[in-house]
Homo-oligomer: A and B are copies of this chain.
Amino acid sequence: MGIVVQKYGGSSVADATSIKRVAQRIVATKKAGHDVVVVVSAMGDTTDDLIDLANQVAPLPPGRELDMLLTAGERISMAVLAMAIGTLGQEARSFTGSQAGVITDAEHGKAKIIDVTPGRIEAALAEGAVAIVAGFQGVSQTTKDITTLGRGGSDTTAVALAAALHADVCEIYTDVDGIFTADPRIVPDARHIPRISYEEMLEMAASGAKILHLRCVEYARRNDIPIHVRSSFSDKTGTWVVKTEDVIQEGSTMEQAIISGVAHDRSESKITVVGVPDKVGEAAAILRALADAQINIDMIVQNVSAAATALTDISFTLPRADGQTAMTALARLKDDVGFERLQYDDSVGKVSIVGAGMRSSPGITATFFQALADAGVNIEMISTSEIRISVVVSDNQVDAAVNAAHEAFNLGTDEVEAVVYGGTGR
């Protein structure tokens, strides 16, 4: 049998008891005949505690030292996990990102993996050991300094190792049974999704589904590594994230679902630049200022100008944490660009429907918007991709919008067959 890469997040290794449970699962996988490589995050709140400690001595710690500090977290969890596996009679060896051959660029705090040379991991597997690798970290190719990969870093480490080792599967363990058609805390009859394509998962992740990070899904898609998202608290099959062809092949008589799920995101704010002269280059100047301030904007909407004034409004959404920085950067542009004023709104939420079947099914937008209207939800912004429709609504209308969309596309447990067979009469 082949190589299985398993990734356990911080909540799966929060304390000694959890670590012992994870160790048993790993040993069971090894006993089933697989070579096992485990990628592990820091225990529970360790990373936050270390950041707190850093902030006690330095308001703006240098990236190199912050990375050195934070990588202590995975060092602890991986060593303790290796010990717990050893207690079960199975040898396990822990490896830092550097030892595992995770080579990155030198961008501290958000390094990108540029190569994986897992020679020591292969040697450990060849000798019958389980290899435990620190997630979230690597070593810079140029400076030889320790780096961290930033958000979603441990998932990305797991997929990158799976690709470099030609693993059969990358299992991402979390505290839920996989991906659902909507957040079950908001939609009680949300349905478990057994299979989903990389493309849909990417749109779900970009739309606020926090279970897998964009970056890890993109890495898996590029290298065609099947991801199995599942719970570390149960043995249930989770959600497989695979090639589009493999989603469709699963049930040979089925068509693909038109809408796979409804995602939402409350982490963004909306900024509107009001009264921008409708001239060539004005929007570019605004976006350039935001890019220079290292701000990633998400949705962006420009209205047609009112003919009488030749003024337009430009609205965009961005991570709430970047709101103040963006407002400051834009305020500096006021005289150059000549806009009237800035509006800042942090009580917004984004609701998205995602589905590969959308490509070939007209009328999806109309159904979605009608459902929102019937639920009394006001749409503030709209953005679409080939397989996603997103709207920005008021923060306090997010739950209503998610439920309305979920129901409109019959994503609930009992009515799923109708959706899969395309029987909703759109």
Binding site for B on A (CB under 8 A): 16, 19-20, 23, 50, 53-54, 56-59, 61-62, 64-66, 68-69, 71-73, 75-76, 78-80, 82-84, 86-87, 92-94, 99, 120, 144
Contacts and interface: CB of A to CB of B under 8 A. Distances in A.
Nearest to A58: B83
A16 B53 CA distance: 7
A87 B56 CA distance: 11
A71 B20 CA distance: 22
A93 B75 contact: no
Given A58-B84, A83-B62, A75 B72 contact: yes
A144 B99 CA distance: 9
A11 B66 CA distance: 22
A87 B58 contact: yes
A79 B58 contact: no
A94 B68 contact: yes
Nearest to A69: B79
Contacts of A16: 53, 56-57
A86 B62 contact: yes
A86 B58 contact: yes
Looking at A54, A57, A75, A144, the one whose CB has the most chain B CB atoms below 10 A away is: A57
A16 B23 CA distance: 35
Given A58-B83, A72-B75, A120-B144, 9 more contacts: A53-B80, A54-B79, A54-B83, A68-B75, A68-B79, A68-B94, A72-B72, A72-B79, A75-B75
A150 to B, nearest CB: 17
Looking at A19, A65, A69, A84, the one whose CB has the most chain B CB atoms below 10 A away is: A65
Interface of A is mostly: helix
9 contacts: A16-B57, A19-B57, A57-B87, A62-B86, A64-B93, A65-B83, A65-B94, A66-B83, A69-B80
A25 to B, nearest CB: 14
A62 B92 CA distance: 10
A92 B65 CA distance: 9
A16 B58 CA distance: 10
A72 B134 CA distance: 12
A291 to B, nearest CB: 27
Nearest to A99: B144
B57 A80 contact: yes
B62 A82 contact: yes
Contact of A53 (B65, B73, B76, B144): B76
Nearest to A71: B75
Contacts of A72: 72-73, 75-76, 79
A69 to B, nearest CB: 4
Contacts of A56: 16
| Top 7 A-B pairs, shortest CB-CB distance | A69-B79, A16-B56, A58-B83, A68-B79, A57-B84, A72-B72, A61-B83
Contact of A68 (B20, B71, B78): B78
Nearest to A19: B57
